[in-house]
Amino acid sequence: MQQLWLIPLFPLIGFLINGLFGRKLPKSAISLVAVGTVVASFLWVLKTLSAIMPLETPHIETYATWIQSGFVNIPFEFAVDRLTAVMLLVVTGIGSLIHVYATGYMAEEDGYYRFFAYLNLFMFFMLTLVLGNNYLLLFVGWEGVGLCSYLLIGFYYLKNSASTAGNKAFIVNRVGDFGFSLAMFLIVIQFKTLTFQDVMKQAAQVPVEHAVGMMTVICLLLLVGAAGKSAQVPLHVWLPDAMEGPTPVSALIHAATMVTAGVYMTCRSATIFLKAPIAMEAVAIVGLITAVLAATIGMTQWDIKKVFAYSTISQLGYMFLAAGVGAFGPAMWHVVTHAFFKALLFLGAGAVIYSMHHEQDMRHMGGLRKYIPITFGTLACAWIAIAGVPLTSGWFSKEAILGAVYHHSPIMYWIAVLTAMVTAFYVSRSMFLTFFGEFRGAAVPAAGHHGHGDEDDHGHDDHGHAVEKHDDRAHAVAHNAAHDTEPHEAPFVMWGPLAVLAALSIVGGFFDLPHFLEPALPPAEHVAHEAWLEIVGSAAGILGIVIAHIMYVAKPEMPDALTAKLGGLYRLVYDKYRVDEAYDLTIVDPLIGGSRSFLWKGLDAGLIDGMVNGAGSTARLVGGFARWIQTGNMRTYGAWVLVGAVAVLAYLGIGGGVR
């Protein structure tokens, strides 16, 4: 026993302390508790892992029965294998860094204790997700992180857009959970257990042709679940809105950890997936589509966090693509490297926003390189990593994925390469807009924004929101302050973690993670390494950077011309392909309208209650007819009684009943 339960317990304790007493604690104590518990958890992970390495087989600890009903027996059971170990390190490691960062970023906020309580709770659930040794415990973490995501997105609950975004995240995730839970039921039916090892063992033994239908259904449902959590098309809509949350949250939850849970889950279920080729194909296609669409949207956005959000979606699509082509190891590798650089990007963006006094629109930035050099330096590391500049971490994982994809399907490969180039382009675009050129802080008037930023639009116009956020934030510095004061560098607690992550982003790829993960994943077919693939991939990344440099540094007037030329297509992409609007139009509005006018007013109040009341009215009608006998006049009643008496007696008398 390695007391694995202590790992999630530390953050839980932090949550309880901050949640119950945080209101009365000083900020320093809150920070200490929050950061301390997570760091303790990280240390405990290190200690545990060092004890149980090399982990050729999973290390399992069973604590108690949770649910026991008939043959369904679900224990509280934690397990660590190599997959888990990687996730544990990522979660606790990056989690610790982001906690540290957040103490700086959130220093001025109201609800400081609340934020850290939620964040600790998130750590608890995320660790439960990672550690749980059966699907239901994974589901606990799965739903739990969803909850924390909901809470943290809606952290600025005074803002309608924030709470709406929270709701959206939770509900879209619920749709995914719908699939996930159905998949679980099928797993129980098929394998009579939810414990990973047992399921995988049985699944591995199932002949492909025997239960392929079942496996396909299970995997497709799992895919729905994973798509929900990992923001894959068509359930990606919540993630951009989730940027309403504080930036550390975006970094931790919506970039580094939670959103990769879908990938983690897919890799966990790899054995089952391998039995369902159709589902694998579906995973790959979903991943590819997501990657492309999100990347193209990313090119058009102005809000720095939105850009990174779409980037995240796109990168997640990459991971799914990898998983879909059977490259689970590279997928996980990308999870890790992505965690590094995307967390860094978000934290860096957070530092930028911090230094810009909560301005997020890149058109208001520019030339920040001079004001916040440390931030720029660290962000540049993430930039080159995500762009796939050779020998950075992102390059390794990306090339691994592209290699696997090529062997699966060249068409997919070329699309993926194109996407890689687009990725490099939009990241570079945001970097150039932010750090290069002249500072445009006062140049762009607020009125220049698009006028359809309506509060009640359920937040699909991020642009408008950025402005409102700026105006509405309860703690906000005065509106003009952003323009009057110059951007300033973030404090050490903020750029410290950035530095660590920057280092990891650069060197994080030298560790051959797929190889490390081999014992934990089903054996994948090894394909020959082809050098030209790497060259093409690297070239795509660099080309993207170059194009961006041309458009945004060398010829700043070019984007506008291009935009004008593209016209409708640009608008479509800029509006994120109008997926939100389509959902509203096809699902949300009919559902609410139909519920209100048909199900409630029509069916419930009209038909059913109408029938009930109709029964009552009918009875009343019949009673109304019978009522004329009941005159209410007692003498008439008496006369009737007399009539009855005479009649009865006469009958008895004549009939001889009385003798």
Partner 1 sequence: MDTLLFALFAGIAILSAVVMIMQRHPVSSALALVGVMGSLAILYLLLGATFIAAAQLIVYAGAIMVLFLFVIMLLNAGAEPKPLRQSFLARALGFPLGIALIAILGFLIQRTVPPDSVVVRFADAKAGSPQDIGRALFTQYLLPFEVTSVLVLIAILGAVVLARKET
Partner 2 sequence: MNLLTWLIVLPALSFFLLLLLPKSMSGNAKYIALGLSLAIFVMSLGLLGPVLANPGAPSFEINEPWIEQPAIRYHIALDGLSLWLVILSTFLTPLCVLISWNHIKDRVKEYYAFLLLLEVGVIGVFASMDLFLFYVFWELTLVPMYFLIGIWGHDRRIYATLKFFLYTMAGSVLMLAAILYLYSLTGTFDYPVIQQLLASGRVALTPHVEALLFFAFFIAFAIKVPLWPLHTWLPDAHVEAPTAGSVMLASVMLKMGTYGIARFCLPLFGGAARQYAGPIAACAIIGIIVGALVAMVQPNMKKLVAYSSVSHLGFVVLGIFSFNQQGLDGAVYQMLNHGVSTGALFMLVGMLYERQHSLEIKSYGGVATVAPHLTTLFLITTLASIGLPLLNNFIGEFLILQGAAIANFNWAVGAAVGVILSACYMLWMFQRAFLGKTPHDVAHHVTEINLREFVAVAPLVILMVWMGTATQTFLPSISGANKIVLEQTRPANVEVAHHNAR
Partner 3 sequence: MPPAPPAVPLTAYLIVSAILFSLGAIGFVIRKNVITMFMCIELMLNAINLSFVAFSYKHGTVDGHLFTFFVMVVAAAEAAVGLAIILTVYKNRNTLMADDIDSLKL
Backbone angles phi, psi at 511, to 5 degrees: -90, 120
Does position 650 interact with partner 3 (CB under 8 A)? The reply is no
For residue 195, the SS3 value is strand
Taken in order 35, 36, 37, 43, is the CA torsion positive or negative?
A: positive
**Interaction between residue 186 and partner 2 (CB under 8 A):** yes
Nearer to partner 2 (CB atom), residue 154 or residue 508 = 154
Q: Could you tell me if 365 and 265 are in contact, meaning their C-beta atoms sit under 8 angstroms apart? A: no
Q: Which stretch binds partner 2 (CB under 8 A): 171-179, 199-207, 300-308, 577-585?
A: 171-179
Of 51, 625, 633, 655, the one binding partner 1 (CB under 8 A) is 633
- The residue range among 6-14, 303-311, 387-395, 632-640 that interacts with partner 3, by the rule CB under 8 A, is 632-640
Task: Provide the minimum distance between the beta carbon of 594 and partner 2 in the complex, in angstroms, as a whole number.
Answer: 8
> Per rule CB under 8 A, is residue 650 in the interface with partner 1?
yes
Nearest approach, Cβ of 111 to partner 1 (angstroms)?
59
Select the residue interacting with partner 2 from 26, 616, 624, 644 (CB under 8 A). 616
**Under rule CB under 8 A, residue 216 binds partner 2:** no
Q: Contacting partner 2 (CB under 8 A), which of 59, 82, 159, 229?
A: 159
In angstroms, what is the C-alpha Rg of the chain? 31
Interaction between residue 627 and partner 1 (CB under 8 A):
no
The greatest distance separating any two alpha carbons of the chain, rounded to the nearest whole angstrom, comes to 128
| Encoded amino acid at 297, one letter | I
Residue 433: CB partners within 8 Å, gap ≥ 6? Answer: 362, 363, 365, 366, 552
Please name the residue that has the structure tokens 């998949």: 183
CB-based burial, 184-223: b 16+ in 10 Å, e otherwise: bebbbebbebbbbbebbebbeebeeeebbebbbbbbbbbb
Binding partner selected for residue 627 from partner 1, partner 3, partner 2, none, CB under the kind-specific 5 to 8 Å limit: partner 3
Q: Is residue 492 near partner 1 by the rule CB under 8 A? A: no
Stretch that binds partner 2, among 66-74, 240-248, 278-286, 640-648 (CB under 8 A): 66-74
End-to-end CA distance of the chain: 100
Under the criterion CB under 8 A, does residue 621 sit at the interface with partner 3? Answer: no
Instruction: Using CA atoms of 466, 472, 477, 481 in order, give the dihedral in degrees to the nearest 10.
Output: 50
631 binds partner 1 (CB under 8 A): yes
Does 630 bind partner 1 (CB under 8 A)? Our answer is: no
Identity of the residue, 53 or 189, whose beta carbon is nearer to partner 2 in the bound complex: 189
For 501-537, letters b (16+ CB in 10 Å) and e give bbebbbebbeeebbebbbebbbebeeeeeeeebbebb
614 forms part of the interface with partner 3 (CB under 8 A):
no
Q: Is 53 in the site for partner 1 (CB under 8 A)?
A: no
Q: Give the residue with the Cβ less far from partner 1, 492 or 640.
A: 640
| Burial tier of 569 (Cβ tally within 10 Å: 0-12, 13-18, 19+) | exposed
State the nearest-atom distance from the C-beta of 163 to partner 2, in Å. Answer: 4
Taking the least distance from each CB to partner 1, the nearer of 612 and 645 is 645
Answer yes or no whether residue 210 interacts with partner 2 by CB under 8 A: no
CA–CA dist 57, 517 (Å, integer): 11
CB of 637 to partner 1, least distance (A): 9
Q: List helix spans (H) across 301-440.
A: 304-324, 328-355, 373-387, 393-408, 410-435
653 counts as binding partner 1 under rule CB under 8 A: yes
CB atoms within 10 A of CB 34: 29
Count of residues of this chain found to bind partner 1 when the rule CB under 8 A is applied:
17
484 binds, among partner 1, partner 3, partner 2, none (CB under 5 to 8 A by kind): none
Among 442, 527, 599, 650, binds partner 2 (CB under 8 A): 599
Site for partner 1 contains 645 (CB under 8 A): yes
User: Tokens in use for 204?
Assistant: 């591995």
The residue behind tokens 């589902």 is 279
CA distance 56 to 54: 6
The yes or no reply on residue 529 touching partner 3 (CB under 8 A) is no
Interacting residue ranges for partner 2, rule: CB under 8 A = 23, 64-72, 136, 139-140, 143-144, 147, 150, 154, 157-160, 163-164, 166-167, 170-171, 174-175, 177-178, 181-182, 184-186, 188-189, 591-592, 594-596, 599-600, 603-605, 608-609, 612, 616
Interacting residue ranges for partner 3, rule: CB under 8 A = 627, 630-635, 638-639, 642, 645
